[in-house]
Amino acid sequence: MKEKIKSSFDSASETYDSVSEVQTLSSAHLVEMLKKSTLPLKIAKILDIGSGTGNTSLELMKVYPAAVYTLCDISENMIRRSRMKIKSANYIVGDAERYNFTEKYHLAVSNLTMQWFESVDLFLEKILKNCEYFAFSTLLDESFYDYENLLRQYGVSVSCYPSIDEIIRICQKRGQLMEYEVKRYDLLFDTPFGLVRYFKKLGAGARQYKGNVVSLLRGHKIKLNYCVFFAIIKGNNGKL
């Protein structure tokens, strides 16, 4: 599955920024939470996990301009796009779930990436050993509700994201949950073809559903609901 994810995002590196409206809004909100939080002002080393084309780090640089940034993404092509925007950062091409992070960071961030992970629980256990604070956003089980309800009518199996209670429990198990919020973003597509094209340009085609969605949902307008969980966690073991 990870190779498929990598391939999808490699292919979408040139088009990602043109359709990443929700990801941009989510990134801005995550950074705004950090600005308003009680984190110490001195954040000198930052790790951006699932950094994509670098947009979250660009937002963070407005808040922590003196920090040293390390951007990590599974897609080499996404990293290549990031390098064009941010020349001063360090870069890691690799799967953050499996990568052995050897450095310690004051802050790690991840914007709409962890829904691709096999185990959020195990990832939090790992990453909080390497950072003092971790701020992230990820999808909840109410995401894509309208779209997936349509698919269920045709017998198509759908994705499974954690509930808010599940993700809070995992956060509290692995560290100190300082604060969290939930926000919703909706996109409307006039045709199923427009939706499929959107997923492809975004790089989310790796989790497309079996069967011909365009044929099944012909004639439907489709609302795509994003239900996003935002959190800031303080780690127990990752102090510099």
Residue burial 73-93, b: 16+ Cβ < 10 Å; e: rest = bbbebbbebbeeebeebebbb
Is residue 111 a part of any domain in this protein? yes
Q: Which tokens hold the place of 78?
A: 């996404």
pLDDT for 211 equals 53
Q: Read off the CATH number of the domain in which 28 is found.
A: 3.40.50.150
Q: What is the pLDDT of residues 1-39, one digit of tens each?
A: 899 999 999 999 999 999 999 999 999 999 999 999 988
Is residue 149 a part of any domain in this protein? no
Is residue 107 a part of any domain in this protein? yes
Is residue 73 a part of any domain in this protein? yes
pLDDT for 206 equals 59
pLDDT for 237 equals 63
Is residue 215 a part of any domain in this protein? no
Is residue 30 a part of any domain in this protein? yes
Q: What is the pLDDT of residues 123-154, one digit of tens each?
A: 999 999 999 999 999 999 999 988 888 887 77
Q: What are the average pLDDT values for consecutive 10-residue runs of the chain, which has 240 residues?
A: 93 97 98 92 93 97 96 98 96 97 96 96 96 97 88 75 97 96 97 90 74 75 95 79
Is residue 7 a part of any domain in this protein? yes
pLDDT for 193 equals 86
Is residue 200 a part of any domain in this protein? no
Pairing type for strands 105-111 and 68-73 reads unpaired
pLDDT for 149 equals 83
Q: What is the 3-state secondary structure (H, E, C) of the chain?
A: CHHHHHHHHHHCCCCHHHHCHHHHHHHHHHHHHHHHCCCCCCCCEEEEECCCCCHHHHHHHHHCCCCEEEEEECCHHHHHHHHHHCCCCEEEECCCCCCCCCCCEEEEEEECCHHHCCCHHHHHHHHCCCEEEEEEEEECCCCCHHHHHHHHHCCCCCCCCCCHHHHHHHHHHHCEEEEEEEEEEEEEECCHHHHHHHHHHHCHHHHCCCCCHHHHCCCCCEEEEEEEEEEEEECCCCCC
Domain region containing 39: 2-141+160-185+227-234
pLDDT for 154 equals 74
Contacts 24+ apart (CB under 8 A), 116-124: 116/5, 116/50, 116/206, 116/207, 118/1, 120/162, 120/167, 120/170, 121/170, 121/173, 121/174, 122/97, 123/96, 123/97, 124/170, 124/171, 124/174, 124/175, 124/233
If one counts the domains in the chain, the total is: 1
Sequence-distant (≥ 6) Cβ neighbours of residue 169 within 8 angstroms: none
